[in-house]
Each structure stands twice: as C-alpha cells, then as structure tokens.
Structure 1
Amino acid sequence: MGGPPGWERFDSCWARLDRAAEHLHAFGEAWAAFLADHPYRVFVEVDDAGSGVVGIRRERPLPKRLPLLIGEFLYELRATLDNCLYEVAVIHSAQNPPPGASQLQFPIYSTPADWGRNVYRLKHLSDEHRQMLERIQPYQAQRQDLNCLRVLNDLARIDRHRTMHLVGACVVEGGLAVKAPPGSEITRSRRVERPVIDEAGDIATFVVDPWSRGQQVQLYPDLVLEVEIAEMAADRPWGSLANRLKALHKAVTEYTTGLAAYALGYTEPDVGK
C-alpha cells in the first residue's frame, strides 16, 4: 500500500488488510461454487390435521472452509487494529517495545464506564490519540448495532472464544405459492423471517381446510438464496453479507490510515463515529 514517508512502518497493517480482502474474495467464490451445484431443495409437508410447512433442506455437505474464511477475515481485521495501535505507541514513545506494551490493545467499548475502566491501557499514547480513539467508540454511535467496530468485535469474539459462525442459506426475496387441492383453501399462512438454513429449516407455515389424508398440495417456489451467518440474519441494514463484510473492511482501513497519519505527523483526518 503506497503512502507518504513513514507509511512502511505500518506494513503489517496493510498486509493484514490485503489478506482480509483475499479471504473475503475466496469466501464469495467458495459460496458461488457451492450454490452452483443446487445443494438446497424446497419441500412441502402436511400432517393429518392439515397443518403444513414449507422448508428448505441442504442435500450436500457445506464446505468447511466457508466458516473458516469468515473467521480468518475477522481475525485479520481485529489484528490490523491492534498492530496499528502498537506501532502508534512505538512512534509516540520512540521505544520498541513501547511502555505498557503488555496492556496495550485497540479499545472497543460499549459503555463510557467500560472505556473509563480500561483507558489506563492507553496512558502511554498522546492525549490527541486517546481523544481520537474515544470518538470512534461504539457507545458514541447513535445505534451501536450499526457501529462497525461493535459488529467486528462481537463477531470476532464469538469466532475466537466460542465456535465458528454458522454459515448457511438465507431466503432474501422471491415468491412462494402453495395451491390447495380442489374443494379446499389455504388459511393461516405465515412466512418465517430470514432463517439461516444449515441442514434444514422452515420458511413458511399454513393450514389446508378442509384436509383429508391422501390429498396433495402444489408448491410453486421462486426464491432467491444468499449466504448468511446466523448472528447477522435478523437485521440486514446494509443488504447482503458481502456488503456488510466489505463495510467492516472499509471501516478498519479508515481507522487504521487515520491513526497512522496522525502518528506520523500529518493532519488529523476525520475518524468520526
């Protein structure tokens, strides 16, 4: 990554950002290849009481590298922020390792109290850098659930300390029609909002009235599937998963270049909320 004099001091950050972009591209290619083989099947079932369900079933194994690529993408972004702050501390202190290196970490806090309890970790940075870091904290955002640092931190923590993210298909648009047998009608139909289909999952329920054993309903699906992770399926403010992950990469790039530029003596950039 080119830049002004001294930019090479942050080469580990630029390399990690490039690597994260590679992981994101590889994830998109792996999902497209998997979906091209039509691994999901839409089905309909009706019980003896006439209660029906429309579901989607995955009929081929999900590639293990999909959740791994997500985890590696998140790791590189989180590590970029920590690497950046470490080099900022080295520049400010003119020491390597800098004072307090074992306590230093890029701060991401959801409350002012959390910031206050942990600001000692940044005591060897300049006042200006602490102010810059405080301005971009999730608790400063109008909606923390849309704050990129908060999203990144939560997702990376789950992947690192709990388990890999559940990756699967999500119905994002399209129609779904169920036709009742002659003399009956579909009642009390309901779509299930954006479930992430791992092995199988319901996407709609309905009732056929009247219903007799041996009757059949006709299913006419016209659905669009996208890749999704379970922790982000409920709210998709930036559209596709690809768009949201690109937004995280863009935010980390902006925060890193902003902090690096100031540490190297250039005009403080806009690194607002």
Structure 2
Amino acid sequence: MSDDLFDGCWQRLDRAAEHRRAGTELWNEYLAPHPYGYTIIDNQDGTYVVRVTQDTPVPAELGILIGEWLYNLRATLDHVIWATAAHVAGTIPPPKEHVLQYPIYDSEDAWTKNLYRLNGLADHHRQMLHQMQPCNSDVDANYLGWVNRLARDDRHRRPNAMTSYIADLRPVVGLPPGTRATIQFGERIIDGGSADCVRLTVRDWTPDMVVKLNPRFGIDPEVLNWSRSPFWRRWNFTERLKMMEIFIACEVAVYEYDCTGTSRKQDLLSDGYKAECDARGHGTAPARAPRGDIEWTEPESGKPASAETMKEVGYPRGYERDDQE
C-alpha cells in the first residue's frame, strides 16, 4: 500500500476518465449506421413539424459505463476525506474511519445532522466543505449535488436510464419570395423513439406553396434524469463529464496541498490558497498504526507429505484461466 494517501484519489479519477473515453467510443460506434433521422409533418394549414426519429435504442452498456464513471467520482470524494482525516490524526487508518464520508447535502439540516462524520477533520476543513454544499448555492448548478444524486440512483436503484438529446439544432427554411414564417422549438429529449423539435408557421400560406425545411441537428447521449437540468443542458454531454472530472480534481488538489504542501495538480489552485495553506502549516506524514497481536488458531496435527507436495507441485495456486473447467 502506497504511503501517498491521495494517490488512490488520482487513480480513481484516471479510471473515471477511462470509462468516459470508453463511453465515447461506444457512442460513436452506435452512431456509425445513422440511427437517427427526421420527417417533416405537413399539417396542410401552414404549419410544419420536424420530428426526429430513432431507429435503434441507446446501448444499455452506455448506462453501465456512466454508472462506473459516477462510482469512481463519488469514491474519489470519500477517499479525499479519509486521507485528510489520516493526516489530521497522524495515523493510518484514521480514527472512526467507518463513519467518514464526503458530505453532500441539499439542506442545512442534513448537514448539521451528519457533522459527526467530519469529527476527524480540522475546523478549516469543515468550513471549506460547508461552503461547497448544494444548500449554499444554486442546487441545480452545484456539481457535487448532481454527482451524488446520479451515483446514488445508479448504486441503490438501477442503472441510470440513458436516452439521447438534440444538443445542436440550427434549422434553415426555404420559402417563396416575400413569404414570412415563425419558428418555435419544442422537444429535445428523444425518449420513446421520437421528438417533435421544431414547428414552422407560414404566414399567408396557400396549398400550392413550396416550403423547404432542414433541421440540421446533432445528437448527444444523455442521462434521462440529468437532462432535466436547465444549467447542465447548456453543455454537450462529453464536455459536461470532463467538467465534472476537473471540479473533482480541484477538490483532491485542495486537500492534498493542505495536508502535504504539494499536489500533482496544484496548477489548479490559486496562489492565494497555497499561501494560506503554507502559513497554516502542513504537519507531518501520518504513521501506520502498529500491528496488533496475532491470533493463532488451535494447534493442529500435521499430515504425511509426499515428495511431490514437498516440491510444491501445483503451487502457488492462482486464478484459473477462463478456458479451464
């Protein structure tokens, strides 16, 4: 086990990035046969609706990959608290490690009720954590809240339902000279195989009028519950995941620098914060708790050994290969 207590945080973030990249590859493979199309519905009254259609559902494996991505992000945060508590206490493992948890609460009452989980931290750590709570910011915009909710749903209920979202929509219209029209935007989530995303209303419409409409759209994967967030919908899905990873990398760097005086991602930190930590002091590296007394089993009588067993034939045993029965 490494004596760099924050190393596990960075390893988990690296694994989250691997899941994100695997999800991107899977999505690109899914898009290759062009599973999305569109039709123009002419209502014969001067209104035209663009309906985006989906031929095949989003791969279920994508939801599993996003769940693993979420697991590693949430576990990274909990690992930060464990490592910080170990540095504060000066021992590995820290006292009462079973109650330690990175706090993420939507209400002040929940924060107060769970303060016992942070008893192993310094006062300034609790102040820093309190400032980051969803209840102290816009709950929808707070990245911690979304990581916690989505990870909790995936872990305790079922894999997050994956759908697709019309992330880019820039329609162009062809009308007879002198004709005017208005455009309205509608559904963006393609849930159930289709979405009516654009409605065109032509003024002074006549049945013989030739109207052309190209929606020019781009499709992103989407977590169904997350798609309802007005704040996070502004970014495409991949950029959103990268932003989450950067935010959590900042949290790791904040506590790693505070505890050790250095961080592999300290470029994410302001000079003012580093100066504050340096003035406060970083302490010494925690020591591992001494091993306790060994509990030996009751004495057993030995059995006769053969020459083969003395030569350790067949040992040490390892994992069996998949092709062995």
Superposition TM-score tier, normalisation by shorter sequence:
0.7 to 0.9
Change (3 A) 1:133 1:7: farther
Residue aligning to 1:107 = 103
What SS does the aligned partner of 2:171 have?
A: strand
What SS does the aligned partner of 2:56 have?
A: coil
Q: Identify the match of residue 225 of structure 2 among 211, 223, 231.
A: 231
Contact 1:71–1:165 under 8 Å retained in 2: no
Q: Identify the match of residue 147 of structure 2 among 128, 147, 152.
A: 152
Residue aligning to 1:166 = 162
Contact 1:110–1:139 under 8 Å retained in 2: yes
Cα shift at 1:77 = 0.4
Q: Which amino acid aligns with 1:149?
A: L
Report the Cα distance in structure 2 between the residues aligned to 1:65 and 1:256, rounded to whole angstroms. 29
Larger Rg: 2
Residue aligning to 1:60 = 56
Contact 2:166–2:217 under 8 Å retained in 1: no
Residue aligning to 2:194 = 200
Which digits, 9 at most, give the CA deviation of each residue in 1:11-63, with x for residues without a partner? 21111000011111121222122223211010234569887643122112422
More deviation, 233-242/17-26: 233-242
Cα shift at 1:171 = 4.1
**Which runs of 5 or more residues in structure 2 are unaligned?**
275-325
Cα shift at 1:217 = 7.4
Contact 2:164–2:189 under 8 Å retained in 1: no
More deviation, 161-170/18-27: 161-170
What SS does the aligned partner of 1:227 have?
A: strand
Contact 1:170–1:228 under 8 Å retained in 2: no
Residue aligning to 1:263 = 259
Q: Does 1:25 align with 2:4?
A: no
Change (3 A) 1:26 1:35: same
Contact 2:175–2:210 under 8 Å retained in 1: no
Contact 2:70–2:151 under 8 Å retained in 1: yes
What SS does the aligned partner of 1:105 have?
A: coil
Change (3 A) 1:131 1:146: same
The aligned length equals: 259
Pairs within 5 Å for 1:1-273 = 8-45=4-41, 53-141=49-137, 143-163=138-158, 164-175=160-171, 177=173, 190-197=184-191, 199-205=193-199, 219-234=213-228, 235=230, 236=232, 239-264=235-260, 270=273
More deviation, 124-133/250-259: 124-133
Higher strand share: 1
What SS does the aligned partner of 1:144 have?
A: coil
Which digits, 9 at most, give the CA deviation of each residue in 1:201-257, with x for residues without a partner? 22234678777xxx9976533223233333333524652111111111001111012
What SS does the aligned partner of 1:203 have?
A: strand
**Which runs of 5 or more residues in structure 1 are unaligned?**
1-5
Report the Cα distance in structure 2 between the residues aligned to 1:178 and 1:191, rounded to whole angstroms. 18
What SS does the aligned partner of 2:170 have?
A: strand
Structure 1 length normalisation: TM-score?
0.79
Contact 2:37–2:53 under 8 Å retained in 1: yes
Which digits, 9 at most, give the CA deviation of each residue in 1:57-97, with x for residues without a partner? 21124222212211111110000011121122223223444
Contact 1:166–1:198 under 8 Å retained in 2: no
Contact 1:56–1:197 under 8 Å retained in 2: no
Report the Cα distance in structure 2 between the residues aligned to 1:179 and 1:61, rounded to whole angstroms. 35
Change (3 A) 1:186 1:263: same
What SS does the aligned partner of 1:25 have?
A: helix
Report the Cα distance in structure 1 between the residues aligned to 2:131 and 2:100, rounded to whole angstroms. 18
